[in-house]
Structure 1
Amino acid sequence: MKKNIIKISLAALTVFVSLTSCERNLDQFSSINEPVDQAMSRPESFRQALDGAYTSFKGAGYYSGDNGSQIIMADVTSDNILRTASGRGSNFAASNFEFSSDNSQTTGLFNAGYLVISRANFVLEHLNNGVLSGAQKANIEAEARAIRAIAHFDLVRAYSKIPTQSTDAKTSIGIYYAEKYNPLNNTASRDLTVEQVYNKIIADLSFAADNITQNDIDNGRLSKAAIYGLLSRVYLYNGDYANTVKFGELALGLSPSITSLDNFTRIWKENEGITKINDGVLFQVLNAPAELVTVGAAYNQAVPKLRSEFVVDYDFYNAYTIADIRRSAYFTTDLYSGKMYNHITKYSGNGGPSNIVPIKYLRSAEVLLNTAEAYYKSGNSASALTLLNKLRKERYSSFTPGIETGQALLDAILKERRLELAFENDRWYTLKRLGLSVQRSGKGDLSNGTGVPAIVQTLAAGSTKWQWPIPVTAIQANPNIKQNDNY
């Protein structure tokens, strides 16, 4: 009789599970091979297996490398950035909305997301083997279900409609929600509606919120505050503004700092010294120099001068005033090959290996913006304005509280969202959930707005391209998976 063998390694394939014997950076591993039942007979193996699921967020299609990395895709496909004439051409097709089922730029997330889910489900598969009990068991289950929910959320917002996108969105086709460990499953189908998928995501996160007990020191593992914050995000996308407010306030109650003005630049320069600043970070994907996950390479490389693949749109760059701390934290204006560019250096680091920094998956500032928008849409403009002014106070060196009302207040909230969450996998999805079109400025790639503009300037709100294509390889492996329209 054959025995299932588990390989305790970060390099494990889908059919294996990564059991990292890690410290804080999740980058050390053992190469021991042993039967699954034997490996999972030790309590510490559950923690190691979960760390393997976290590590999967750094795989190709999620945050590794440049082509198709989620660190840039929501900006490539929207109006925040444009390709430079001096770049290598990475993500060029996606920037032109040339989405196809055989191009990894928009399909890579599909397999990467289900790998994360598979590893989380592996932990859940063995949870009732009698090794864990009580609060320890409940916490492990909470963490695994939250990881599973995160990946499903990223998949459903990319490959299906968002509930607030259109009147038919909730009843439209969703994704397969994998709740069992079955990495070679070739019978799954997209049999759930978008609404049903969101209900499952919320169920997993709600369980996690009720049962998670850990409070991770560097926010590389999920905490109760992070789970509350994730619920605020999911409920905002789902159009449930009462629950967006409820869980947003719970998250901010546990983690009230939205990153102080003094610390804001420092949270992006994680490799500048021994002491890490995580002020306002609720959950981040840890990234150690030894792993060589160069997340910032999607934007530029140091060769040794900055050579950018994409630069910030000129009009958007000028939306950041001189008094805005984000302007200097996110951008560097410098020459490359005799031409001046506004380079995006949010992930370049400072004093260590270039472009190797943790990925901020969720920050308190986003939770505040979720909550402010939900307050406004619930008719509570006063609370919305209070939260908005709280954010602006920590971003502008010269600050006078705003007094906006009505549409001007909503516009101000959405403006700050764009300024704050630029290059954090948000813009495409904000436009999508609001049912808006992409409208680019038409300005060129040079620092003064001249140069080469984007080839394609618009994408209509009703385009089927807002739902990315399912990879053809996934459909070939499992013909039950329905392709999205017009691919």
Structure 2
Amino acid sequence: MNKYIFLGFIALTLSCNEAIDIDQVGRLSADAAFQDVTDLESGILGTYNQFDYTPSIQWASNFTDEIAIGPDNGGQGVAVYSGIVNTGSAVTSSLWQTYYDALNSANRVIAAAELITPDEADQDAYNNVIGEAYALRAWALFELWSYYTTDYTDGSALSALLLNFVPETSTQLPRATSAEFLTQIDADLTTAAGLLTVDASATRVSQDFVTALTAKVAVYTEDYAAADAAAASLLADYPIADADQFEAMWDDADNTEVIFKLERAVGDPYDGQGATGSAFAGGWAGANYAFVNPTVDGSPYFVASSDLFALMAEGDVRREVYIDESAAPDYAVLPVGKYPGSGGQPLLNDLKIFRSADMLLIRAEAAASNNQFGQVNTFINELRGARGASTDVNVSTRANAFAAILQERRIEFAFEGHRYRDMKRLGPKAGVNVVRPNSECANFGLCEINNDDFRFTLPIPLFELDANPAITTQNPGYE
């Protein structure tokens, strides 16, 4: 009887396996989906489409000191403004999903390219697409590393999951170290640089994109010599915009100092309001602050912080661009005007990722690290002069130098998604905390956030912890 039962079990197992192993009609395998360079080109465009910077913009504004609760706020973003951050927060879920979707897409293009042998006439295009995929993978890894690593200068610090291959549905990865992430990012950027055939492009990955990302990685890890060299090389080709060019840049009409941006257009997948007040944002960048348009009457639910506004004196073009003109003359309400809209659609604008202004202030950081305070003054005042602001910055100590750089970054990159990570990196060096005006924070219980607060590193999201037993350690403060 046992023998018959065993034979019956074997037969049932084979039958089940045959049912599972059916090659479904219409299913596209990698070699079927990607057959030539044109298919790879479609694949890399799909990878670009996975990248969205609006969650970073929303999070940096809401958690730090860029905004205040606006007159038409109906509860949007109030929890984050009050400092509530946990494993189920929208920010950690959104950023995790966004960049792992991007990694998955880039990895699939890289894997598919191995199945294609291009014609000689297509070799350059083939190389460029693969180069784009490696560079985009490096960018996605950098974003994850920057949000989920406690200490950018500690190679042993745990980071996110190092996904550099096409995973199976059952793949479960442990957290990788910061050093492992940085090694992969460096390798991907080196590979990309050896393949890319495009030197410069505002809306596609190019050699200049690789150099800009190299500068960002280097300054985050305090490799100041490398950061300075990369930033200086870009400034030779991307001058700081003058006042007219600066205004036109935010109307998407000028790319003088744009090294790379994510293009947004009417009718594309990001043409919509998105999740207002949430780091699941998506949609129009300006919808991070208003429901209808960027004016006083456009239903602003977040407005610029009065302290930030006070840093932009009359004559500073940033005041004219970042605060909508409808706020004048009394400035009782400070609607965010940085994303006025384009193509006839209010609030819809390209997302600027790398600008020459960033490279100039990276050079200032490198100079501050070497106690070259005259250089720090020169770089900051050069930027301020181009913006029509006073050029009286004159620092003489490291702490003051980093504080001046941090303040200039607060002004220059307001509402662009930089402030959160800038405070994490530079706040301790400058001795500066996030401080909100009492009139804007008293009702929400969070008027100051120390620069070493654990919330300057995001938690591994709850859904990943629940699904992945290989993760055994959460970031401090969220255990």
TM-score by length of 1: 0.82
Aligned partner of residue 291 in structure 2, secondary structure: strand
183 and 89 in structure 1: CA distance in 2 versus 1, 3 angstrom threshold: farther
User: In the TM superposition, what are the counterparts of 1:205-216 in structure 2 within 5 Å?
Assistant: 205-215=189-199
User: In the TM superposition, what are the counterparts of 1:77-92 in structure 2 within 5 Å?
Assistant: 77-84=63-70, 86-92=72-78
Partner Cα distance (1:434, 1:193) in 2: 22
Partner Cα distance (1:155, 1:390) in 2: 32
Q: Does 1:76 align with 2:70?
A: no
Q: 1:99-142: CA deviations, max 9, x gaps? A: 12222133211011100011010111112223337544432222
Q: Does 1:241 align with 2:232?
A: no
Partner Cα distance (2:464, 2:115) in 1: 32
Shift of 1:87: 0.6
Shift of 1:351: 6.6
477 and 331 in structure 1: CA distance in 2 versus 1, 3 angstrom threshold: same
4 and 161 in structure 1: CA distance in 2 versus 1, 3 angstrom threshold: farther
**Contact 2:382/2:391 (<8 A) preserved:** no
207 and 301 in structure 1: CA distance in 2 versus 1, 3 angstrom threshold: same
Q: CA RMSD in A?
A: 2.7
**Contact 1:162/1:237 (<8 A) preserved:** no
Partner Cα distance (1:35, 1:45) in 2: 13
**Contact 2:265/2:343 (<8 A) preserved:** no
User: Which residue in 2 is equivalent to 1:203?
Assistant: 187
Q: Does 1:455 align with 2:445?
A: yes
Partner Cα distance (2:61, 2:100) in 1: 23
User: Which residue in 1 is equivalent to 2:113?
Assistant: 127
Q: Does 1:406 align with 2:392?
A: no
One-letter amino acid of the counterpart of residue 104, structure 1: A
Q: 1:437-481: CA deviations, max 9, x gaps? A: 643233435xxxxx9755311223333222212221122222222
Partner Cα distance (2:401, 2:318) in 1: 21
**Contact 1:442/1:453 (<8 A) preserved:** no
Q: 1:153-194: CA deviations, max 9, x gaps? A: 111211222424xxxx4322111111101263531110x222
User: In the TM superposition, what are the counterparts of 1:54-69 in structure 2 within 5 Å?
Assistant: 54-58=48-52, 62-63=53-54, 69=55
Partner Cα distance (2:158, 2:77) in 1: 27
Shift of 1:370: 1.0
Shift of 1:360: 0.6
Shift of 1:333: 6.1
User: Which residue in 2 is equivalent to 1:66?
Assistant: none
Out of 36, 41, 48, the residue aligned to residue 35 of structure 2 is: 41
Partner Cα distance (2:127, 2:340) in 1: 38
User: Which residue in 2 is equivalent to 1:172?
Assistant: 157
**Contact 1:41/1:131 (<8 A) preserved:** no
Q: Does 1:256 align with 2:238?
A: yes
User: Which residue in 2 is equivalent to 1:28?
Assistant: none
Partner Cα distance (2:222, 2:402) in 1: 16
Shift of 1:412: 2.8
Give the fraction of aligned pairs with identical amino acids, expressed as a percent: 26
332 and 367 in structure 1: CA distance in 2 versus 1, 3 angstrom threshold: same
Shift of 1:211: 3.1
**Contact 2:406/2:427 (<8 A) preserved:** no
TM-score by length of 2: 0.83
Q: How many residues align?
A: 433
- Name which one, 1 or 2, has greater alpha-carbon Rg: 2
Aligned partner of residue 177 in structure 1, secondary structure: coil
Q: Does 1:318 align with 2:335?
A: no
User: In the TM superposition, what are the counterparts of 1:430-441 in structure 2 within 5 Å?
Assistant: 430-436=422-428, 438-441=433-436
Partner Cα distance (2:240, 2:460) in 1: 36
Q: Does 1:95 align with 2:95?
A: no
**Contact 1:86/1:309 (<8 A) preserved:** yes
Q: Does 1:144 align with 2:138?
A: no
User: Which residue in 2 is equivalent to 1:367?
Assistant: 359
**Contact 1:94/1:105 (<8 A) preserved:** no
One-letter amino acid of the counterpart of residue 250, structure 2: W
More helix by share: 2
Partner Cα distance (2:242, 2:260) in 1: 17
Partner Cα distance (1:36, 1:76) in 2: 41
Aligned partner of residue 346 in structure 1, secondary structure: coil
One-letter amino acid of the counterpart of residue 287, structure 2: A
